[in-house]
């Protein structure tokens, strides 16, 4: 399949979008303690705010499925990404709890639609390229996360106000994403149609809308499980690795910050190189290897006699988990080529399901017993991904990709 210059431009623009989203998201999550302090949010109320964001993001993800049917993933992404940046500014600009609630609600809704529409375009571009490129997009997100976390550290180090940090970052991010949005791929490019073939494009859009209305959940469930398991594992690292190292492995406060950074770096490297691995060995083999490596990482961390062995375990996790989420989206797009946008929106919902379940579940087990035992929970879940790994295989039968009628759901 020919890859045109226009498709390369669209791919580069989407890489920019993923990177900017990584920056914005990391800026918020790494400055939660400062947000809590600014607004005087109690420790009892903070979990409510933190849980509301992924819940609303799930709503935004599902809503985007319906909006995309009437417009396009490009149109949704163009609209919501600047709004995510502006809602971040709102978090830094307010001074009362109700203002924080409104800003976080807007952030949650918009980020759900943003995550879904970005991955819709990524799946569409991968289909046009005819080879694996999804991990590259998620590598850009990981790189953005590292940049955002570094900016947050700089803001804390230089005692910048949240408004200055978030507002200054948005002043750079918004023009960048607006410029990138002019090169996103539209329905014509993703369908391989010539610009003048308006009638054929309209017919394809009507077919996609009909497919979206009748998309069954059952074939997506193995992929939904894999997505949730991956994000439960990710939430374990992001929320508990520092506490585990400091409280259980008796590291210093400074050393306790290393596991998450090591995890993010190996996640980035794995995603940067992962598309070549998928091309060579196939998605099923890569996902299976990732699940085994992830389980090994949790096992090493849980059995660690000291901090550096624990860090090694969390480092392995970055390599293991890096491919699972991008391949979930790619597999959903392959399974339902005529309704890939709807499939991506539904799979993206389980990103937030995993995030909501992961941290409280591991924390509850840790509080009830020990955090070594708590690491067994995500270990078992990521290992169970092996049982559903066949769902990542390319569809070999024409009827496998067909959308079944509504009444057979």
For the segment 153-187, what is each residue's pLDDT rounded down to a tens digit? 888 889 999 999 999 999 999 999 999 999 999 88
CA distance 382 to 6: 38
The confidence band for 235, taking pLDDT boundaries of 50, 70 and 90, is confident
**Tokens found for residue 370:** 């020990």
Distances (CA, A) of 176 to 16, 21, 170, 354: 8, 11, 10, 30
Q: Is the dihedral of CA 174, 176, 179, 182 positive or negative?
A: negative
How far out from the chain centre does Cα 343 lie?
15
> What is the reported pTM?
0.86
Dmax (CA) of the chain: 66
Q: What is the pLDDT of residues 59-89, one digit of tens each?
A: 999 999 899 988 999 999 999 999 999 999 9
Vertex 363: Cα angle to 104 and 100 (nearest 5): 15
Give the number of other CB atoms < 10 A from CB of residue 196: 9
In this predicted structure, what is the pLDDT of residue 278? 94
Please write the tens of the pLDDT for every residue from 33-42.
889 889 998 8
390-400 pLDDT, tens digit per residue, is 999 986 544 44
pLDDT computed for residue 369 by the predictor: 84
Q: What is the pLDDT of residue 197?
A: 42
Helix or strand holding residue 255 (H, E): none
Q: Which structure tokens are listed for 143?
A: 């790189």
| pLDDT value at residue 196 | 47
Q: Could you give all domains of the chain from N- to C-terminal order, each with its CATH number?
A: 1-213 (1.20.1250.20), 216-409 (1.20.1250.20)
Q: Residues 126, 329: contact at Cβ < 8 Å? A: no
List, in sequence order, every beta strand (DSSP E) within 77-199. none
Beta-carbon contacts of 376 under 8 Å, excluding residues fewer than 6 positions away, are: 298, 302
**Residue 203: band (very low, low, confident or very high) from pLDDT cuts 50, 70, 90:** low
d(CA 286, CA 162): 41
In contact, 404 and 241? CB cutoff 8 Å: no
383, exposed or middle or buried, with CB in 10 Å at 0-12, 13-18, 19+? middle
> Is residue 133's pLDDT more than 90?
yes
CA proximity to 241, closest of 294, 295, 315:
315
* DSSP conformational letter for 401: G
211 pLDDT exceeds 70? no
Instruction: Give CA–CA dist 243/239, Å, rounded.
Output: 8
Report the C-alpha gap between 71 and 390 in whole angstroms. Answer: 33
pLDDT tens per residue across span 237-291: 887 888 888 889 998 877 887 888 889 899 999 999 999 999 999 999 999 999 9
Q: What is the mean pLDDT of the chain?
A: 88
Rounded to an integer, the average pLDDT of 103-132 is 95
pLDDT for position 207: 53
**What is the CA angle 5-6-9, rounded to 5?**
90
pLDDT tens, residue by residue, 287-321: 999 999 999 999 999 999 999 999 999 999 999 99
What's the N-to-C CA distance of the chain in angstroms? 34
SS3 395: coil
Instruction: Calculate the alpha carbon distances from 10 to 85, 181, 189 in Å.
Output: 21, 9, 9
When computed from its CA atoms, the radius of gyration of the chain, rounded to whole angstroms, is 21
pLDDT > 50? residue 408: no
CA atoms within 13 A on the CB side of 71: 15
**What is the predicted pLDDT for the residue at 185?**
93
**Alpha-carbon distances of 68 from 12, 93, 209, rounded to whole Å:** 22, 31, 9
In a 10 Å sphere around its CB, with 0-12 CB exposed, 13-18 middle and 19+ buried, how is residue 407 labelled?
Answer: exposed
Specify the DSSP element, H or E, that contains 369: none
Long-range contacts of 365-370 (CB under 8 A, 24+ apart): 366/240, 370/248
């Amino acid at each position: 399949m020919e890859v045109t210059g226009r498709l390369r431009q669209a791919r580069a623009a989407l890489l920019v979008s993923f990177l900017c989203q990584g920056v914005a998201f990391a800026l918020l999550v790494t400055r939660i303690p400062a947000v809590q302090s600014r607004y005087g949010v109690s420790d009892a109320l903070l979990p409510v705010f933190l849980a509301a964001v992924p819940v609303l993001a799930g709503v935004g993800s599902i809503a985007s499925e319906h909006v995309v049917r009437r417009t396009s993933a490009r149109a949704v992404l163009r609209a919501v990404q600047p709004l995510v940046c502006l809602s971040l500014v709102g978090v830094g600009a307010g001074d009362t709890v109700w203002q924080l609630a409104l800003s976080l609600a807007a952030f949650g809704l918009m980020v759900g639609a943003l995550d879904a529409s970005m991955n819709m375009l990524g799946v569409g571009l991968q289909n046009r390229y005819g080879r694996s490129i999804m991990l590259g997009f998620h590598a850009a997100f990981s790189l953005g996360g590292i940049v955002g976390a570094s900016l947050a550290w700089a803001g804390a180090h230089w005692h910048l106000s949240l408004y200055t940090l978030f507002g200054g970052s948005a002043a750079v991010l918004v023009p960048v994403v607006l410029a990138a949005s002019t090169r996103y791929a539209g329905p014509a490019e993703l369908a391989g149609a010539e610009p003048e073939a308006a009638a054929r494009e309209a017919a394809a859009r009507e077919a996609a809308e009909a497919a979206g209305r009748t998309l069954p959940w059952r074939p997506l469930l193995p992929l939904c499980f894999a997505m949730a398991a991956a994000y439960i594992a990710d939430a374990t690292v992001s929320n508990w690795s520092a506490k585990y190292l400091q409280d259980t492995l008796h590291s210093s406060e400074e050393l306790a910050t290393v596991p998450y950074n090591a995890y993010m770096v190996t996640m980035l490297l794995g995603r940067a190189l992962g598309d070549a691995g998928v091309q060579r060995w196939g998605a099923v083999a890569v996902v299976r290897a990732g699940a085994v490596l992830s389980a090994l990482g949790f096992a090493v961390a849980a059995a660690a006699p000291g901090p550096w062995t624990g860090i090694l375990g969390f480092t392995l996790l970055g390599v293991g988990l890096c491919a699972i989420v991008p391949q979930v989206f790619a597999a959903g797009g392959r399974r339902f080529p005529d309704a890939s946008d709807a499939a991506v929106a539904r799979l993206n919902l389980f990103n937030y399901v995993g995030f909501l379940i992961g941290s409280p579940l591991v924390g509850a087990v840790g509080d009830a017993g020990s955090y070594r035992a708590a690491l067994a929970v995500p270990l078992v879940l990521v290992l169970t991904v092996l049982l559903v790994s066949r769902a990542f295989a390319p569809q070999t039968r024409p009827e496998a990709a067909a959308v079944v009628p509504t009444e057979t759901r």
